[in-house]
Structure 1
Amino acid sequence: GDNYAPRSLSSTKIGAVRLTAEFIATDPINERELQFLQAYVRGMLERPIEDIQAHLKPGEIPRLVGTSGTIETLAALHAKEKLGIVPNPLNGYQFTRKDLKEMVKRLASMTTIERVAIPGLSERRAEIIVAGGLVLLEAMTLLGIESLMVGERALREGVIVDWMLSQGLIEDRLRYQGQVRQRSAIAVAQKYHVNLESSQRVGNFALSLFDQTKGSLHNWNQRERELLWVAAILHNCGLYVSHSAHHKHSYYLIRYGELLGFTDVEIQVIANLARYHRKNTPKKKHENYNLLPNKEYRMMVKQLSALLRLAVALDRRQIGAISQLQCEYRPNIRELNLSLTPAIPNDKCTLELWNLDYKKGVFEEEYGVKVTATLT
């Protein structure tokens, strides 16, 4: 589906419990039973998958999101093997079809007792994990999808949201999800006694810089824009622990806190952005930075944290001294001019300009531009 309406809905009776009971009699499952089970699953999935493919637009590649017990268990096993830890929450965790194929093959070669010995795999789940993994593998193969994302919200949450809609408690499913994220960020800020007036000004400056430099200095999108805003709201939460190295405390409070509605990777990004709003720039030797999934996320943190530093500088006294920010990029000389309007006409904003000059070096190095600032 997309936006508000599903394009195709189907329910197929190939649950892991049913398949295990009806098709698996050997332990470990022998090759004949495994092939028969695989053929049966494929036959049951062909028609609903053809219906899904019939609703795809030309050139459109579907995105697969998996929920509930078997998929979350497979994701946890994969994370434990690849990362050494299981992310909490698992929401947003991804693994590939290739990795799934290897997991199913390995699990199928083991007896139930051997699977039970795997940390995190309960006795009941160990009995049905082979059939459940095979269903997922065949679905990904038939759809031609190379990776899956875990979604921790499932039928129960959907029933609750639908009930809230029917009772007029919320107006819009998608808007409600966005509101959950925003409300959660504000709630965490309040929990750690963040100066919300100042952090919201920093957030506004960050978004203004983001919007005015998009297309000229960066090409990040709405998702990254929202993560930047949340990081701006929470960048100083570490002051709750100590003023000394508070940017590092901010990282831990965000990373292992109670942000709702975000994937684990998104929380990692937010925490890293807050971590690098001051002092050292991101470095591979920093464990928190190195744990980001790939180069794209590391680049995201480098570029957006440099932008956040400028936003923080613009509210250095935390009194709202700067009321307006206008950016002018001059590509011929690689210069970004910040035109700043003081809230009080005679205020020279000396501290803000000094802090901006002090912090702009990171931004200049990251984007390859010279930053200048003038009061209007």
Structure 2
Amino acid sequence: MVDSLTKESSITDCTPNLDQNCILAAIDIGTNSIHMVVVEIEPTLPSFTIIAREKETVRLGDRHPKTGELTPEAMERSLGALQRCQDLAKSCNAEQIVAVATSAVREAPNGRAFLKQIQSDLGLFVNLISGPEEARRIYLGVLSGMEFNNQPHAIIDIGGGSTELILGDSHEPRYLSSTKIGAVRLTAEFITTDPISLGEFQYLQAYIRGMLERPVEELLSHRQPGEELRLVGTSGTIETLATLHAREKLGTVPNTLNGYQMSRKDLKEMVKRLASMSCAERGAISGMSDRRSEIIVAGAIILVEAMTMLGVECLMIGERALREGMIVDWMLSHGLIEDRLRYQGSVRERSVLKIAQKYQVNSEYSQRVANLVLSLFNQTKGHLHDWDCEERELLWAAAILHNCGLYVNHSAHHKHSYYLIRHAELLGFLETEIEIIANLARYHRRSTPKKKHENYSNLSSKKHRQLVCQLSALLRLAVALDRRQIGAIARVQCEYRPHEKELHLRLFPAQPEDDCALELWSLNYKKGVFEEEFGVKLVATLESAPVTVS
């Protein structure tokens, strides 16, 4: 059980090898609807084929007006819809279901409790994702069905609770944003008349412009001089508008709306007509569902105002978005995509390093701690723990960011680290994973995890709490091994002796004459947490032989 510690210690040492087709289902629990797509993944290409879709309007966004909580009725509708999605996925022989929740669940005080109820009642684990992470996956989804030819494209996705604005050019997204304006949210908050009154219409326009001002300005600032901007629109609101437009202009709806174009002029005229109708009149239009007719005006105003502010005259429809992006993200995380989306494979690593830089983390020190803790993780795997590459990646992130709380204050900086990580925009990570990373950093020193700690009790399962207890104990050792923050310990060699229940650490100093007294003292001081967690005795010895660095 020997592992040399080098700069090449990686967060992605183990990648599943899929050599045959598999069926995957992706569920998006949105503010207005629950959507599912079932696909067959062909890893040798790599690509995926959509074999089934499901959608049900559940209106999770119709939250309690005073408390902001998800209502029992909306949660009951959602549980029923999710059960039907599971049944369909099973009938399609799906081997796995990945599910995410977005705006409505993110913001509701009882949102996390609802996710626990889903897991308890249906056995379905749902990941809560942030607005920027939602935008990133939308970008992946759009790229999976549309070629940008390295030209800048803005993407707008109008959901029930939020609107995502994205700028990309086939490669890494230049800009990602999520703004709290959506068709369900704005309808509930601002529209009380039917048809909508002129006053409410104009107020809604002004409110939307105010909310979009900053994200539009920031998006445009990421465009290079002279670049022409194209706009791609996704989501139910935009697809419904495209369907109405095609019926009016072509007399029929194309088999696929992907690539279909509408002018801003036509959209403005359509918004005026829709706003002049009652909800019942809009519902009678061919291609307009009753539930969509209730919120289409607010959604359409968002679209027209965004196009005006972006200065674009034409919109192109993209049929793929968040759900397909979830599929692409799954393929990326399993090492199946190595072409034009290769950059996304390292999105987590780059996001962590960006946050570390933001909070002025000592990069050389944090990387040494990360190398040490990954070495300990690798050498004790299969002996003291059975965590795998996914958990290893979270441990790496926590090691890099464990000291970021110093940016706030040295006193109790481990608690500041938790807060900064928890509220950082770590792209590529799920909310649960961010919570784990933050907790690992929180417990790299001082108090051990306790149920009375709110941050620890927020972890969604017993498995996650055990993960934090065990990996934070490893992180404590790694921090102790670089106590002077000079890289005094160059390498660690572990030997587990099961009969004695002992873990022996041979420590190799970077300088032969260095007695590493402070590191040995710190290790002895902190080892109690590790020994109690794993039920072993830790024995450390310093090797006097010089280290050969390859």
TM-score (ref. length: structure 1)? 0.68
Alpha-carbon distance in structure 1 between the residues aligned to 2:464 and 2:88? 38
Find out whether 1:248 has 2:415 as its counterpart.
Answer: yes
Deviation per CA, 1:162-197: give whole Å up to 9, x if none: 768964747447753341111111111111111110
Task: Map 1:83-102; keep pairs closer than 5 Å.
Answer: 83=112, 96=118
Task: Map 1:137-286; keep pairs closer than 5 Å.
Answer: 146-149=124-127, 152=134, 154-160=137-143, 167=150, 169=171, 171-172=338-339, 176-286=343-453
- Give the match for residue 109 of structure 2: 80
Find out whether 1:65 has 2:99 as its counterpart.
Answer: yes
Find out whether 1:351 has 2:524 as its counterpart.
Answer: no
Distance 1:298 1:213, change over 3 A: same
Structure with greater strand share of residues = 2
Task: List runs of 5+ in structure 1 lacking aligned partners.
Answer: 18-33, 87-92, 100-139
Partner amino acid, structure 1, of 2:102: E
- Give the match for residue 111 of structure 1: none
Alpha-carbon distance in structure 1 between the residues aligned to 2:403 and 2:88? 53
Alpha-carbon distance in structure 2 between the residues aligned to 1:150 and 1:292? 13
Moved more, 208-217 or 145-154: 145-154
Deviation, structure 1 residue 146? 4.1
- Report the secondary structure of 1:10's partner residue: strand
Distance 1:161 1:271, change over 3 A: farther
CA contact (8 A) 1:75 1:94 kept: no
CA contact (8 A) 1:94 1:150 kept: no
CA contact (8 A) 2:171 2:341 kept: no
- Give the match for residue 541 of structure 2: 374
Alpha-carbon distance in structure 2 between the residues aligned to 1:338 and 1:176? 38
CA contact (8 A) 1:231 1:270 kept: yes
Partner amino acid, structure 1, of 2:140: E
Deviation, structure 1 residue 351? 0.9
CA contact (8 A) 2:449 2:456 kept: yes
Deviation, structure 1 residue 62? 2.1
Match for residue 334 of structure 1 among 479, 501, 511: 501
Deviation per CA, 1:51-107: give whole Å up to 9, x if none: x32xx5xxxx422435xxxx6366458x633647x9xxxxxx6762776xxxxxxxx
Deviation, structure 1 residue 346? 1.0
How many residues are paired up?
292
CA contact (8 A) 1:315 1:321 kept: yes
Structure with greater helix share of residues = 1
Deviation, structure 1 residue 356? 0.6
Larger Rg: 2
Alpha-carbon distance in structure 1 between the residues aligned to 2:358 and 2:120? 42
Deviation, structure 1 residue 291? 1.0
- Give the match for residue 287 of structure 1: 454
Deviation, structure 1 residue 147? 4.6
Alpha-carbon distance in structure 2 between the residues aligned to 1:221 and 1:259? 21
Deviation, structure 1 residue 261? 1.2
Alpha-carbon distance in structure 2 between the residues aligned to 1:272 and 1:46? 36
Partner amino acid, structure 2, of 1:203: A
- Give the match for residue 315 of structure 1: 482
Distance 1:245 1:72, change over 3 A: closer
Distance 1:196 1:364, change over 3 A: same
RMSD after superposition:
3.5
Deviation, structure 1 residue 155? 4.5
- Give the match for residue 10 of structure 1: 51
CA contact (8 A) 1:247 1:278 kept: yes
Task: List runs of 5+ in structure 2 lacking aligned partners.
Answer: 1-23, 25-40, 59-76, 151-169, 173-337, 544-550
CA contact (8 A) 2:507 2:541 kept: yes
Distance 1:147 1:318, change over 3 A: closer
Distance 1:147 1:364, change over 3 A: closer
CA contact (8 A) 1:335 1:371 kept: yes
Distance 1:202 1:172, change over 3 A: farther
Q: Percent identity?
A: 54
Alpha-carbon distance in structure 2 between the residues aligned to 1:3 and 1:316? 49
Moved more, 170-179 or 348-357: 170-179
TM-score (ref. length: structure 2)? 0.48
CA contact (8 A) 2:503 2:537 kept: yes
Alpha-carbon distance in structure 2 between the residues aligned to 1:316 and 1:298? 27
- Give the match for residue 115 of structure 1: none
